[in-house]
């Protein structure tokens, strides 16, 4: 079953670009990455999905219900963390979170305390006295306190230090294991690579690709680095599927796409001192998609 279904969603803002014909589905129980550079249209898509802004055309459904018609009903089961969080400065953290919980008509006190402990957040402090990172933690707890079936995160890690990011990812994985579906928007590829099953790549308000993370990697280049026992002629490695070939005396590096056995046979015929084969990271894969589009 699809928890999110977006069909040809378009939002235009006069002459400035919004989003155009966005379509993708997020399956139940999946951690789905939504990735693109800042200003690509990720937040616009999410806000339209949450009925915070209305689309110019197209439609979106959550839990099979229309996002605009059933917005209040859908909101009960959705946790949302916007990219920037703003609060009433004079409130204490616990008071704010209890106020948030009151919208869901259930007692979330135990849950709030558990989350605050995991994220190392002092609930007795005033919002005004919190650092940017701690304000972000308040937003995370606000999004998770009612144990939503769908968690929508827009650039959630900005302001969190690396150790806290790690705890946050573990928290999300635990929620996912309990059955929550997660839509994770980011411009940081390594985050998506670590967490997500599938990813939609957005560029200038349009989807360029929806793909499994594993397929993105498989269909892409492998990075080869070789250290030879003696100098080698560059022409030896000029094979079909080889690109970015660099030969520096007895060091050779290149990207390869295709049947890896052809390269391995070639390497087996020469004396090598060392060999490294690496997966390209999503950064390189991403640039590949952008260049292809361009």
Strands, E assignment, the chain: 2-13, 16-27, 31-35, 57-62, 65-66, 78-81, 150-154, 181-186, 198-203, 206-212, 222-228, 242-248, 251-256, 272-278
pLDDT at 15: 75
By the 10 Å C-beta count (0-12 exposed, 13-18 middle, 19+ buried), 158 is classed as middle
Residues 252 and 205 both lie in one domain: no
Q: Distance between CA 119 and CA 142 in Å, rounded?
A: 12
What token pair was written down for 121?
């957040």
Residues 264 and 189 both lie in one domain: no
Split into its structural domains, the chain has a count of 2
Where a domain ends, among 179, 194, 217?
217
pLDDT at 294: 56
Residues 171 and 151 both lie in one domain: yes
Residues 171 and 197 both lie in one domain: yes
Residues 265 and 225 both lie in one domain: yes
Alpha carbons within 13 angstroms on the beta-carbon side of residue 202 total: 28
pLDDT at 105: 85
Residues 207 and 90 both lie in one domain: yes
Range of the domain at 182: 2-217
Residues 30/195, Cβ–Cβ less than 8 Å: no
Q: Distance between CA 172 and CA 151 in Å, rounded?
A: 9
**pTM of this structure:** 0.81
What's the CATH code of the domain at 121? 3.40.50.300
Residues 158 and 236 both lie in one domain: no
CA of residue 197 relative to chain centroid, distance? 10
Q: Distance between CA 214 and CA 13 in Å, rounded?
A: 36
Q: Which residue has the tokens 């920037």?
A: 84
pLDDT in tens, 191-245: 888 899 999 999 889 998 898 988 877 666 788 999 999 888 888 889 888 888 9
Q: Which residue has the tokens 């594993």?
A: 214
Mean pLDDT in runs of 10 for the chain (294 residues)? 95 86 96 90 94 94 96 95 86 94 91 96 94 94 96 92 94 96 90 90 91 78 90 88 88 88 90 88 66 60
Where a domain ends, among 217, 246, 269?
217
Residues 206 and 283 both lie in one domain: no
CA of residue 38 relative to chain centroid, distance? 13
Residues 201/208, Cβ–Cβ less than 8 Å: yes
What token pair was written down for 252?
């050779």
Residues 205/41, Cβ–Cβ less than 8 Å: yes
pLDDT at 233: 86
Where a domain ends, among 199, 217, 235?
217
Question: Which residues are 189's β-sheet partners?
Answer: none
The CA-atom distances, in angstroms, between 263 and each of 96, 240, 243, 249 are 60, 10, 13, 19
What's the CATH code of the domain at 264? 3.30.70
Q: Distance between CA 228 and CA 270 in Å, rounded?
A: 8
Residues 117 and 194 both lie in one domain: yes
Residues 103 and 244 both lie in one domain: no
């Amino acid at each position: 079953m699809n928890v999110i279904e977006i069909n040809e969603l378009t939002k235009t803002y006069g002459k400035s670009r919004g989003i155009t014909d966005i379509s993708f589905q997020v399956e139940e129980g999946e951690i789905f990455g939504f990735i693109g550079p800042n200003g690509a249209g990720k937040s616009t898509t999410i806000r339209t999905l949450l009925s915070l802004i209305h689309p110019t055309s197209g439609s979106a459904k959550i839990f099979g219900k229309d996002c605009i018609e059933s917005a209040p009903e859908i909101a009960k089961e959705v946790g949302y963390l916007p990219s920037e969080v703003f609060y009433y400065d004079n409130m204490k953290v616990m008071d704010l979170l209890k106020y948030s919980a009151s919208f869901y008509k259930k007692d979330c006190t135990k849950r709030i305390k558990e989350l605050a402990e995991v994220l190392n957040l002092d609930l007795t402090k005033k919002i005004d006295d919190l650092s940017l990172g701690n304000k972000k933690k308040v937003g995370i707890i606000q999004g998770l306190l009612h144990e939503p079936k769908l968690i929508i995160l827009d650039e959630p890690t900005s302001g969190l230090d690396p150790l806290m990011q790690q705890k946050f990812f573990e928290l999300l994985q635990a929620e996912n294991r309990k059955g929550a579906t997660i839509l994770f928007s980011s411009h940081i590829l390594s985050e998506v690579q670590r967490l997500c099953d599938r990813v939609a790549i957005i560029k200038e308000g349009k989807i360029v690709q929806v793909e499994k993370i594993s397929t993105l990697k498989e269909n892409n280049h492998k990075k080869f680095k070789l250290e030879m026992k003696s100098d080698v002629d560059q022409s030896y490695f000029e094979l079909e599927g080889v690109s970015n070939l660099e030969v520096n005396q007895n060091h050779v590096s290149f990207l390869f796409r295709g049947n890896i056995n052809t390269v391995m046979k070639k390497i087996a015929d020469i004396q090598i001192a060392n060999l490294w084969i690496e997966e390209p990271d999503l950064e390189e894969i991403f640039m590949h998609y952008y260049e292809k589009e361009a």
